Chain A
Amino acid sequence: MRRAVWVLAVLLSHWRRHPMQLATLLIGLISATALWSGVQALNQQARNAYDRAAATFGGTRTAMLVAKDGATFPQKLFVDLRRAGWPVSPALEGRIQIDGRFYRLLGIEPVTLPAEVGSAPALGKASLQAFVTPPGEMLVAPETLRDLALAEGARPQANGIALPPLRVQGELAPGVLVVDIGFAQQILKLPDRLSRLLIGKSGAPHPSLQSVAGDKLRLIPPSAESDLERLTDSFHLNLTAFGLLSFFVGLFIVNSAVGLAFEQRLPMLRTLRACGVSAWMLNTVLVIELVSLALIAGLVGLVCGYLIAAALLPDVAASLRGLYGAQIPGQLSLKPAWWLAGVAISILGALAAAAASLTKAIRMPVLTSAQPQAWQQAQRRWLMFQSAAAIAVFAVAGGLIRFGDSLIAGFAVLAALMLGAALILPMVLQIALTVGQRSARRPVSIWFWADSRQQLSGLSLALMALLLALAVNVGVGTMVESFSRTFLVWLDGRLAADVYINATSDAQATKIKAWLRDRPEVEAVLPGGRADTQFAGAPIEVLGLPDHATYRDNWPLLESTANAWVRLRPGDACLVSEQLSRRMKLAIGDRISVPAFGGNWTLEIVGIYADYGNPRGQIAVNFAALTRHFPQAPLTRMGLRVAPDKIPALISALQQTFGLDDRNVADQATMKTESKRVFNRTFSVTAALNAFTLGVAGIALLTSLLTLANSRLPQLAPLWAIGLTRRRLAALELLKTMSVALITALFALPLGLLVAWCLLAIVNVKAFGWRLPFHVFPLQLIELIAVAMAAALCAAALPVARLARMQPASLIRIFVNER
């Protein structure tokens, strides 16, 4: 034991003499752990929120019975099943509007509610009494209370009814209002109707479902994954992919720092072995040393990861709310498993990054064998092997593009492309530098190219990290820019009306319409409606569009029949959103059937339109047809065509006359600005992670150059001795770094464009259901090359400055001792 402690002390003494190297190793581990665990913290936070939502009084965590057509069903079925011994509890769900904002109203029956319903808040005996007897109680999460800007006990209005007094229940998901089922039926105007029956666990025998309810109900088994989890999977997968990429780039730094430490400590390790330290003990102590450093760095990395997650959480929460309507609390709360997993990933990452060095240490002979020729041959063999592996990986990518048909396959294509490119990079650089060397005539130029080639093996890992970071930046930048352009055009089509109104109730909407008829500046009132239904077992939205030139001229149709808008009029045709058409493989001319009031509604598809940012499937029908088939759908929305100079006066008149605020009435410009803000916020997380990744790659390059700086001195000292000034040597070194960085950046451009194509044509289609046009933005590419060169310049500056300032005595010593 004491022996091991002595050996450890000797190994650690190396870091005391090389604090910069230790800092590099720790920075690599800290950045890898921080970025990975930061992303995981964001994912965990969101998943906790989904769990809360799913567990709310029988979400998807509970088995349930629903109507075959997905609509409501008579309460009598509940009574029949209960009498037959089924442990069922009724629930009614709907959407209500309070002060212009929509909330999910959930009616439950607390007496029959199964005890095992997830983490449902318990209602004590006293509160049970208050909950079920008038005026009742409306349970809400603290976030919802804040959102409503009301105090506990307040009674907000909805559908012209005073709702039960508000009471806070901490366990509830935000955006949900829970009341007794009797109140819910009154508020939603659905007397004696139910949405679902929650099934408790009971060993008692009961007759079959069919014998009691016929074929009116169907059983939905409990699901481990909620709707929100399914919807947001792609978003979290994107985040995870970024986290993983940053983690790997961080590990490049660790690999380079451990590699340097190993090379520098090689004589020390040999001396230790010569002094009688066995290979087993030496390797054990090396692993202990590495694990200890990884433990320290892992803990610091976790704290940094927490800070990154806390900084990004508002944007992530806004994105998830904007894209999916998911309510994520703004306060970060993490489970102990996150901390443990973070430390574990740091240790495993460090061991993986150091695997090559540790293997070398295990195989290291005690005696040195100076065989430069053999080393060069081994390098050549390794380069050939890497290139062959790259071609194999590219072939896998090709196969996945041809035969893969899932989001995972899309990400696998991306991973394969990047891995293949990273593996083939040394060969690309080798070829480029060989061409340079062949074209050189003057001796210093020949040395410049030859020496750059010799330096490649030491720099290639860092250059691979730079290549990946640049390619991802090009890819994601191109995707975001393509998306941005398409989105703006789409927004013009979707927001074609000049003013948008969302009345607080149908009654108010009717009054507003009557008032608008007397306003000469209003050229047209475009009523809008929206209803929820199902298609192929999944929830979809039905949009009612009025038959008006505003929609006919602007609606963002991707493809349609020649007379699509005319075909919509009778109410037997519809337009479908791109994501629904892709998901369900629907094409123009197909017929779909959706549950509606009074039975199924069959519609022929006459067009497909872009519906970016909406995770749910959507169909658009004629407005009049919507009101016929969904009479209970709220008709509170409308758009107005108004002369532009009259808009501000009209909005202020509407606000004064009907007590509407900015949330209820807005002009087109405001709506567009808000949509663009949500759009930009959605990608701000991507941009932040992009910048982090590029930063980490810059550090990887710096550490590699610092690593090489010392070992390069024996190569540079003879040149100095034969008459090249230190300043000129430093300039040549800088030029060398910039040259290889430039070649890498130029190689990163086509790779990045390929990544962008993959994101747009494969990943986006699978993740979100829409395909965007592919644009190339030359200015953006030039900008990124400049950033890469700046990163290389910053990374090379320190070692080059050290060389320029090096005392002649040091160079003499190196020349005398190490030649």
Chain B
Amino acid sequence: MPDQTALLRVTGLTKHYRTADEDVAVLRGVDLTLATGESVALTGESGSGKSTLLHLIAGLDAADSGEIRLGDTLISALGDAGRAELRRDRLGLVFQQFNLIPSLTVSDNLAFQSRIAGRHDPAWHDELVERLGLGALLKRYPEQLSGGQQQRVAIGRALAPKPLLLLADEPTGNLDEDTADEVLRLARDLVVRTGCGFLMVTHSARLAATLDRQVTLHAGVIA
């Protein structure tokens, strides 16, 4: 029986990777919940499985066993098309490498996901532009932006369709300290504004402390 108050519920999640020489267990039974509107920082040392867990929740990869539930949807039971639909309509993803589309302008990058989700809202688009301070950059291409500017566009793109959950994998890993603080502040504000959940992978204890709750992964299990 799923917990009705939890937006995200992860139960007994395991994941192995096979390399040329050995079988590595990355996740060994992870349990995690996240409520609507809650911001959670997922921390842990390198190789603890933080990014793997985030990728499984995002439907970018499939778990070996266990369950991932977003609201009423059992993500771990979805096929490729179902997972694509989930990412398009209910999730927002932000990566360390920004992953903007180099051939689209800032404006088109911002609007891209909301357009393919069929939920483009011009007023919300304008608000995002203003809140993220991108007004003067709309006609530029990603290569003409600094790292901090690119990450602001990536956050805007992820939040443009008003997702239920924003997933961020080391979103400030490529930014200096001041820029990282500013980008994270903007992300938190927008998460509050939209009321979505926020799960962020980070290795920075300082940034993790700014979120509602911290969860630490150690050797493939929640410590």
Q: How far is the CB of A4 from chain B (nearest CB, A)?
A: 9
Chain B residues, CB < 8 A from A367: 55, 60-61
A267–B98 Cα distance when bound, in Å, is: 11
B50 within 8 Å of A (CB atoms): no
Query: Which of B41-49, B109-117, B202-210, B215-223 lies at the interface?
Result: B109-117
A2 within 8 Å of B (CB atoms): yes
A385 within 8 Å of B (CB atoms): no
Chain A residues, CB < 8 A from B30: none
Chain A residues, CB < 8 A from B31: none
Tally of contact residues, B, Cβ under 8 A: 31
Evaluate whether A268 and B81 lie within 8 angstroms (CB atoms) in the complex, with A6-B115, A276-B87 already known.
Answer: no
Chain A residues, CB < 8 A from B91: 276
A17–B118 Cα distance when bound, in Å, is: 26
B38 within 8 Å of A (CB atoms): no
A677 within 8 Å of B (CB atoms): no
> In which size bucket is the chain A interface?
20 to 34
Q: Which of B87, B103, B104, B108 has the most CB of A within 10 A?
A: B103
A9–B161 Cα distance when bound, in Å, is: 19
Are B61 and A278 in contact, with the CB atoms below 8 A?
Answer: no
B100 within 8 Å of A (CB atoms): yes
Q: Which residue of B lies closest to A267 (CB)?
A: B99
Q: Which residue of B lies closest to A17 (CB)?
A: B103
Are A7 and B103 in contact, with the CB atoms below 8 A?
Answer: no
Give the contacts of B77-104 with A (CB-CB under 8 A): 80-81, 84-89, 91, 93, 95, 99-104
A694–B36 Cα distance when bound, in Å, is: 65
Interface string of A262-275 (1 = CB under 8 A from B): 00000110111111
Are B116 and A7 in contact, with the CB atoms below 8 A?
Answer: yes
Evaluate whether A279 and B116 lie within 8 angstroms (CB atoms) in the complex, with A268-B101, A367-B61 already known.
Answer: no
A267–B101 Cα distance when bound, in Å, is: 8
A403 within 8 Å of B (CB atoms): no
Are A270 and B103 in contact, with the CB atoms below 8 A?
Answer: no
Are B102 and A275 in contact, with the CB atoms below 8 A?
Answer: no
Evaluate whether A275 and B81 lie within 8 angstroms (CB atoms) in the complex, with A3-B118, A367-B55 already known.
Answer: no
A367–B61 Cα distance when bound, in Å, is: 8
Q: Which residue of A lies closest to B85 (CB)?
A: A276
A271–B157 Cα distance when bound, in Å, is: 11
Chain B residues, CB < 8 A from A278: 80-81, 84-85
Chain A residues, CB < 8 A from B118: 2-3
A375 within 8 Å of B (CB atoms): no
Chain A residues, CB < 8 A from B88: 275-277
B99's partner among A7, A14, A270 (CB-CB below 8 A) is A270
Evaluate whether A273 and B84 lie within 8 angstroms (CB atoms) in the complex, with A6-B116, A367-B55 already known.
Answer: yes
Evaluate whether A16 and B103 lie within 8 angstroms (CB atoms) in the complex, with A280-B81, A366-B61 already known.
Answer: yes
A161–B60 Cα distance when bound, in Å, is: 92
Q: How far is the CB of A227 from chain B (nearest CB, A)?
A: 59
A10's partner among B84, B86, B89, B112 (CB-CB below 8 A) is B112
A359 within 8 Å of B (CB atoms): no
Q: How far is the CB of A248 from chain B (nearest CB, A)?
A: 31
Are A10 and B55 in contact, with the CB atoms below 8 A?
Answer: no
A277's partner among B58, B60, B116 (CB-CB below 8 A) is B116
A7–B103 Cα distance when bound, in Å, is: 12
Q: Which residue of A lies closest to B92 (CB)?
A: A275
Q: Which residue of A lies closest to B17 (CB)?
A: A369
A10–B60 Cα distance when bound, in Å, is: 21
Chain A residues, CB < 8 A from B117: 276
A13 within 8 Å of B (CB atoms): yes
Chain A residues, CB < 8 A from B157: 275
B101's partner among A2, A3, A13, A366 (CB-CB below 8 A) is A13
Chain B residues, CB < 8 A from A14: 103
Evaluate whether A275 and B103 lie within 8 angstroms (CB atoms) in the complex, with A10-B112, A280-B81, A366-B60 already known.
Answer: no
Q: Which residue of B lies closest to A374 (CB)?
A: B20
Chain B residues, CB < 8 A from A3: 116, 118
Evaluate whether A276 and B103 lie within 8 angstroms (CB atoms) in the complex, with A6-B116, A7-B116 already known.
Answer: no
Are B112 and A275 in contact, with the CB atoms below 8 A?
Answer: yes
Q: How far is the CB of B73 from chain A (nearest CB, A)?
A: 14
Chain B residues, CB < 8 A from A279: 80-81, 84
Chain A residues, CB < 8 A from B60: 274, 366-367
Chain B residues, CB < 8 A from A275: 87-88, 93, 112-113, 116, 157
Q: Which of B85, B91, B113 has the most CB of A within 10 A?
A: B113
Q: Which residues of A contact B (CB under 8 A)?
A: 2-3, 6-7, 10, 13-14, 16-18, 267-268, 270-281, 365-367, 374
A-B contact pairs, 25 of them (CB 8 A): A2-B118, A3-B118, A6-B112, A6-B115, A10-B103, A10-B104, A13-B103, A13-B108, A14-B103, A17-B141, A268-B103, A273-B84, A275-B93, A275-B113, A275-B157, A276-B84, A276-B87, A276-B117, A277-B88, A278-B85, A279-B80, A280-B81, A281-B84, A367-B55, A374-B20
Closest 9 CB pairs of A and B: A276-B88, A278-B84, A13-B103, A276-B87, A17-B103, A271-B99, A366-B60, A14-B103, A278-B81
